[in-house]
Chains A and B, each alone.
Chain A
Amino acid sequence: EGQLVESGGGLVQPGGSLRLSCAASGFTFSASSMIWVRQAPGKGPEWISYIDKRSSVIYYADSVKGRFTISRDNAKNSLSLHMNSLRDEDTAVYYCVKDMWERFFDFWGQGTLVVVSS
Protein backbone atom coordinates (compact mmCIF):
# COMPACT_ATOMS: atom_id res chain seq x y z
CA GLU A 1 0.00 0.00 0.00
CA GLY A 2 1.24 3.43 -0.87
CA GLN A 3 1.01 6.79 0.82
CA LEU A 4 -1.02 9.91 0.18
CA VAL A 5 -0.26 13.23 1.87
CA GLU A 6 -2.64 16.18 1.54
CA SER A 7 -1.75 19.82 2.05
CA GLY A 8 -3.17 23.28 1.45
CA GLY A 9 -6.05 23.40 3.91
CA GLY A 10 -6.75 26.35 6.15
CA LEU A 11 -9.16 29.13 7.05
CA VAL A 12 -10.80 30.99 4.17
CA GLN A 13 -13.64 33.49 4.00
CA PRO A 14 -16.91 32.70 2.22
CA GLY A 15 -16.52 33.36 -1.49
CA GLY A 16 -12.79 32.75 -1.32
CA SER A 17 -10.58 30.20 -3.05
CA LEU A 18 -8.18 27.51 -1.97
CA ARG A 19 -6.00 24.93 -3.70
CA LEU A 20 -5.45 21.52 -2.14
CA SER A 21 -2.61 19.22 -3.13
CA CYS A 22 -1.96 15.53 -2.64
CA ALA A 23 1.48 13.94 -2.95
CA ALA A 24 1.42 10.26 -3.83
CA SER A 25 4.15 7.69 -3.27
CA GLY A 26 4.66 3.93 -3.02
CA PHE A 27 2.40 2.96 -5.91
CA THR A 28 2.08 3.62 -9.64
CA PHE A 29 0.24 6.93 -9.51
CA SER A 30 0.07 7.30 -13.30
CA ALA A 31 -1.87 4.01 -13.54
CA SER A 32 -4.39 4.95 -10.85
CA SER A 33 -7.65 6.83 -10.90
CA MET A 34 -7.90 9.22 -7.97
CA ILE A 35 -10.65 10.73 -5.89
CA TRP A 36 -11.35 13.56 -3.44
CA VAL A 37 -13.68 12.83 -0.54
CA ARG A 38 -14.63 15.26 2.21
CA GLN A 39 -16.11 14.84 5.65
CA ALA A 40 -17.82 17.66 7.49
CA PRO A 41 -17.49 17.73 11.29
CA GLY A 42 -19.62 14.99 12.83
CA LYS A 43 -20.90 13.81 9.44
CA GLY A 44 -20.24 10.87 7.14
CA PRO A 45 -17.90 10.95 4.14
CA GLU A 46 -19.04 12.63 0.93
CA TRP A 47 -17.48 11.88 -2.46
CA ILE A 48 -16.80 15.10 -4.39
CA SER A 49 -14.63 14.38 -7.43
CA TYR A 50 -13.04 11.63 -9.55
CA ILE A 51 -10.30 11.76 -12.19
CA ASP A 52 -9.06 8.85 -14.26
CA LYS A 53 -5.38 8.08 -14.87
CA ARG A 54 -5.14 10.16 -18.06
CA SER A 55 -7.37 13.04 -16.90
CA SER A 56 -9.77 12.11 -19.70
CA VAL A 57 -12.73 11.22 -17.44
CA ILE A 58 -13.70 13.60 -14.63
CA TYR A 59 -16.77 13.58 -12.41
CA TYR A 60 -18.01 16.00 -9.77
CA ALA A 61 -20.70 15.78 -7.14
CA ASP A 62 -23.55 18.21 -7.71
CA SER A 63 -22.62 20.01 -4.49
CA VAL A 64 -19.31 21.23 -5.98
CA LYS A 65 -19.92 21.19 -9.74
CA GLY A 66 -18.92 24.48 -11.35
CA ARG A 67 -16.93 25.60 -8.29
CA PHE A 68 -14.26 22.92 -7.83
CA THR A 69 -11.73 21.63 -10.38
CA ILE A 70 -9.76 18.41 -10.04
CA SER A 71 -6.45 17.93 -11.87
CA ARG A 72 -3.35 15.78 -11.74
CA ASP A 73 0.30 15.81 -12.78
CA ASN A 74 1.49 12.26 -13.36
CA ALA A 75 5.09 13.42 -13.82
CA LYS A 76 5.04 14.81 -10.28
CA ASN A 77 2.79 12.12 -8.73
CA SER A 78 0.47 14.90 -7.65
CA LEU A 79 -3.28 15.44 -7.42
CA SER A 80 -4.92 18.85 -6.94
CA LEU A 81 -8.29 20.33 -6.11
CA HIS A 82 -8.95 23.97 -6.93
CA MET A 83 -11.86 25.28 -4.89
CA ASN A 84 -13.60 28.54 -5.77
CA SER A 85 -16.66 30.37 -4.41
CA LEU A 86 -16.31 28.58 -1.10
CA ARG A 87 -19.31 28.36 1.21
CA ASP A 88 -19.75 27.68 4.92
CA GLU A 89 -20.98 24.18 4.06
CA ASP A 90 -17.67 23.36 2.36
CA THR A 91 -16.05 23.23 5.80
CA ALA A 92 -14.67 19.71 6.11
CA VAL A 93 -11.64 17.49 6.20
CA TYR A 94 -10.65 16.80 2.59
CA TYR A 95 -9.17 13.41 1.79
CA CYS A 96 -7.17 12.29 -1.22
CA VAL A 97 -8.07 8.68 -2.05
CA LYS A 98 -6.82 6.06 -4.47
CA ASP A 99 -9.60 4.54 -6.53
CA MET A 100 -10.16 0.79 -6.69
CA TRP A 101 -11.68 -0.56 -9.93
CA GLU A 102 -13.84 2.60 -10.23
CA ARG A 103 -16.03 1.18 -7.48
CA PHE A 104 -14.36 1.54 -4.10
CA PHE A 105 -11.91 3.65 -2.10
CA ASP A 106 -8.66 1.73 -1.83
CA PHE A 107 -6.63 3.79 0.64
CA TRP A 108 -6.81 7.31 2.02
CA GLY A 109 -4.54 10.13 3.06
CA GLN A 110 -4.81 11.61 6.55
CA GLY A 111 -6.73 14.61 5.23
CA THR A 112 -6.43 18.38 5.34
CA LEU A 113 -8.92 20.62 7.13
CA VAL A 114 -10.67 23.43 5.28
CA VAL A 115 -12.64 25.94 7.35
CA VAL A 116 -14.85 28.45 5.55
CA SER A 117 -15.81 31.21 7.94
CA SER A 118 -15.88 34.98 8.19
Chain B
Amino acid sequence: EIVLTQSPATLPLSPGERATLSCRASQSVGGYIGWYQQKSGQPPRLLIFDAFNRANGIPARFSGSGSGTDFTLTISSLEPEDFAVYYCQHRSAGSGYTFGPGTKLEI
Protein backbone atom coordinates (compact mmCIF):
# COMPACT_ATOMS: atom_id res chain seq x y z
CA GLU B 1 0.00 0.00 0.00
CA ILE B 2 1.29 3.42 -0.98
CA VAL B 3 1.57 5.95 1.84
CA LEU B 4 1.56 9.69 1.16
CA THR B 5 3.26 12.15 3.48
CA GLN B 6 2.89 15.92 3.30
CA SER B 7 5.07 18.73 4.57
CA PRO B 8 4.94 20.99 6.32
CA ALA B 9 1.92 20.16 8.48
CA THR B 10 1.27 23.87 8.92
CA LEU B 11 2.48 26.71 6.72
CA PRO B 12 2.09 30.25 8.05
CA LEU B 13 2.25 32.85 5.29
CA SER B 14 0.76 36.19 4.32
CA PRO B 15 -1.33 37.26 1.33
CA GLY B 16 0.87 37.99 -1.66
CA GLU B 17 3.54 35.48 -0.63
CA ARG B 18 4.43 32.29 -2.50
CA ALA B 19 3.40 28.94 -1.02
CA THR B 20 5.19 25.66 -1.69
CA LEU B 21 3.56 22.48 -0.41
CA SER B 22 5.18 19.06 -0.64
CA CYS B 23 3.79 15.55 -1.06
CA ARG B 24 5.97 12.44 -0.98
CA ALA B 25 4.89 8.89 -1.89
CA SER B 26 6.34 5.77 -0.28
CA GLN B 27 6.94 4.34 -3.76
CA SER B 28 6.69 5.65 -7.30
CA VAL B 29 3.21 6.70 -8.38
CA GLY B 30 4.24 7.90 -11.84
CA GLY B 31 2.37 11.16 -12.38
CA TYR B 32 -0.91 10.08 -10.82
CA ILE B 33 -1.22 12.63 -8.03
CA GLY B 34 -4.14 14.94 -7.33
CA TRP B 35 -4.30 17.99 -5.10
CA TYR B 36 -7.42 19.17 -3.25
CA GLN B 37 -8.30 22.31 -1.33
CA GLN B 38 -10.67 22.16 1.63
CA LYS B 39 -12.06 25.22 3.34
CA SER B 40 -13.74 25.00 6.73
CA GLY B 41 -17.23 23.50 6.53
CA GLN B 42 -16.91 22.65 2.83
CA PRO B 43 -16.08 19.49 0.91
CA PRO B 44 -12.68 19.19 -0.74
CA ARG B 45 -12.31 20.63 -4.23
CA LEU B 46 -10.08 19.20 -6.95
CA LEU B 47 -7.32 21.65 -7.90
CA ILE B 48 -4.74 19.61 -9.80
CA PHE B 49 -4.87 16.18 -11.46
CA ASP B 50 -2.12 14.07 -12.98
CA ALA B 51 0.43 16.10 -11.04
CA PHE B 52 0.30 19.31 -13.06
CA ASN B 53 -3.09 19.74 -14.81
CA ARG B 54 -5.42 22.37 -13.37
CA ALA B 55 -9.03 21.33 -12.93
CA ASN B 56 -11.83 23.39 -14.47
CA GLY B 57 -12.08 26.90 -13.07
CA ILE B 58 -8.89 26.74 -11.01
CA PRO B 59 -6.88 29.99 -11.17
CA ALA B 60 -3.49 30.02 -12.88
CA ARG B 61 -1.74 30.93 -9.60
CA PHE B 62 -2.11 27.25 -8.66
CA SER B 63 0.44 24.94 -10.26
CA GLY B 64 1.61 21.40 -9.70
CA SER B 65 4.85 19.64 -10.49
CA GLY B 66 6.78 16.46 -9.81
CA SER B 67 6.83 12.81 -10.75
CA GLY B 68 7.74 9.46 -9.24
CA THR B 69 7.71 10.01 -5.48
CA ASP B 70 8.04 13.78 -5.00
CA PHE B 71 5.36 16.32 -5.85
CA THR B 72 4.82 20.02 -5.22
CA LEU B 73 1.81 22.32 -5.20
CA THR B 74 2.76 25.95 -5.67
CA ILE B 75 0.53 28.97 -5.15
CA SER B 76 2.38 31.84 -6.78
CA SER B 77 0.82 34.74 -4.89
CA LEU B 78 -1.56 33.97 -2.05
CA GLU B 79 -5.03 35.43 -2.04
CA PRO B 80 -7.04 35.63 1.23
CA GLU B 81 -9.36 32.84 0.01
CA ASP B 82 -6.42 30.43 -0.45
CA PHE B 83 -5.95 29.87 3.28
CA ALA B 84 -7.28 26.36 3.73
CA VAL B 85 -6.14 22.74 4.11
CA TYR B 86 -4.54 21.05 1.10
CA TYR B 87 -4.44 17.30 0.51
CA CYS B 88 -2.58 15.23 -2.05
CA GLN B 89 -4.15 11.97 -3.25
CA HIS B 90 -3.32 8.88 -5.27
CA ARG B 91 -5.08 5.77 -6.43
CA SER B 92 -3.20 2.53 -7.07
CA ALA B 93 -4.46 0.41 -9.97
CA GLY B 94 -7.10 -2.07 -8.81
CA SER B 95 -6.94 -0.72 -5.31
CA GLY B 96 -8.27 2.06 -3.15
CA TYR B 97 -7.67 5.77 -3.01
CA THR B 98 -5.16 7.27 -0.57
CA PHE B 99 -4.95 10.78 0.85
CA GLY B 100 -2.02 12.49 2.48
CA PRO B 101 -2.49 13.92 6.00
CA GLY B 102 -2.81 17.47 4.70
CA THR B 103 -1.05 20.83 4.96
CA LYS B 104 -2.84 23.68 6.69
CA LEU B 105 -2.06 26.98 5.04
CA GLU B 106 -2.69 29.69 7.62
CA ILE B 107 -2.31 33.41 7.82
The chain A residues found within 8 Å of chain B, CB to CB, are 1, 35, 37, 44-47, 50, 59, 61, 95, 100, 102-111
Contact = CB atoms under 8 A, between A and B. Distances in A.
Contacts, number: 53
B32 A105 contact: no
B10 to A, nearest CB: 14
Contacts of A109: 43
Contacts of B95: 59
Contact of B99 (A35, A46, A59): A46
Interface of B: 32, 34, 36, 38, 42-46, 49-50, 56, 87, 89, 91, 95-102
A84 B101 CA distance: 27
B32 A44 contact: no
Nearest to B42: A110
Contacts of A106: 46
Contacts of B56: 1
A100 B46 CA distance: 10
A112 to B, nearest CB: 11
Contacts of B38: 45
Nearest to B49: A104
Given A45-B99, A47-B97, A61-B96, A103 B46 contact: no
8 contacts: A35-B97, A45-B36, A45-B87, A105-B44, A107-B46, A108-B44, A108-B45, A111-B43
A105 B89 contact: yes
